């Protein structure tokens, strides 16, 4: 019989955000194997998430700081947890203090609570996006919203030149004071 593993999964939505808080929480629990992503949770096409899914096996325990780190909508959350449980993996959501045991043996109350909390998280996300859209519309009416300022074409030319010389994109972004995501976007657009 294989020895079960305690595994963590941490995610932030962008490369500018930090995983430190989530990883520190896992370290406090003695969890050494942690899979991470710095991408949106809008779907399950995330490298760290996919590695975690392939890694966990029957008898393992998966720890996630909160439900919204696992999935952004209720349908995905329920689908992911169900497939992990069928695989024999226990899932622990630390913030919500909810644990799901393998093979669907969780109590009816736990399942209901998880579905309700997942729905609330999805609802909160929708409200945030709605308020953001409303705020942008109001700012546009006041002529206060200009959107993001485009990067100077000279900086883009210099960035492309540095990348062609073999400098890493991370270093180029740092040297020129450009966000990595923006740099990738501009470089991809210039190659079209």
Q: Domain map of the chain by residue range?
A: 6-118, 153-190
153-190 architecture in CATH?
Answer: Orthogonal Bundle (1.10)
- Distance, in Å, from the CA atom of 167 to the CA atom of 35, rounded to the nearest integer, reads 28
Residues 62-76 pLDDT 10s:
999 998 899 888 888
Nearest to 91 by CA among 101, 105, 78, 79: 101
Task: Tell me yes or no: is domain 6-118 CATH 3.40.50.1390.
Answer: yes
Per residue in 135-155, pLDDT (tens digit) is 888 888 888 887 777 888 888
| pLDDT interval class at 29 (50, 70, 90) | very high
- Report the catalytic residues: 13
């Amino acid at each position: 019989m294989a020895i079960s593993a305690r595994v963590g999964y941490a995610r932030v939505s962008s490369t500018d955000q930090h995983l430190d808080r989530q990883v520190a929480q896992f370290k406090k629990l003695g969890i050494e194997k942690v899979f991470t992503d710095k991408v949106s949770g809008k779907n399950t096409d995330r490298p760290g998430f996919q590695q975690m899914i392939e890694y966990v096996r029957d008898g393992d325990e998966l720890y996630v700081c909160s439900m919204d780190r696992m999935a952004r909508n209720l349908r995905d959350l329920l689908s992911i947890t169900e497939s992990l449980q069928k695989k024999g993996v226990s899932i622990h959501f630390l913030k919500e203090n909810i644990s799901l045991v393998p093979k669907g043996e969780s109590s009816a109350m736990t399942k209901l609570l998880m579905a309700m909390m997942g729905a609330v998280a999805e609802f909160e996300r929708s409200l945030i996006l709605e308020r953001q859209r409303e705020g942008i519309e109001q700012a546009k009416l006041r002529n206060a919203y200009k959107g993001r300022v485009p990067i100077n074409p000279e900086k883009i030319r210099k960035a492309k030149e540095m990348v062609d010389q073999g400098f890493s994109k991370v270093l180029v972004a740092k040297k020129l004071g450009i966000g990595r995501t923006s740099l990738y976007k501009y470089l991809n657009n210039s190659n079209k």
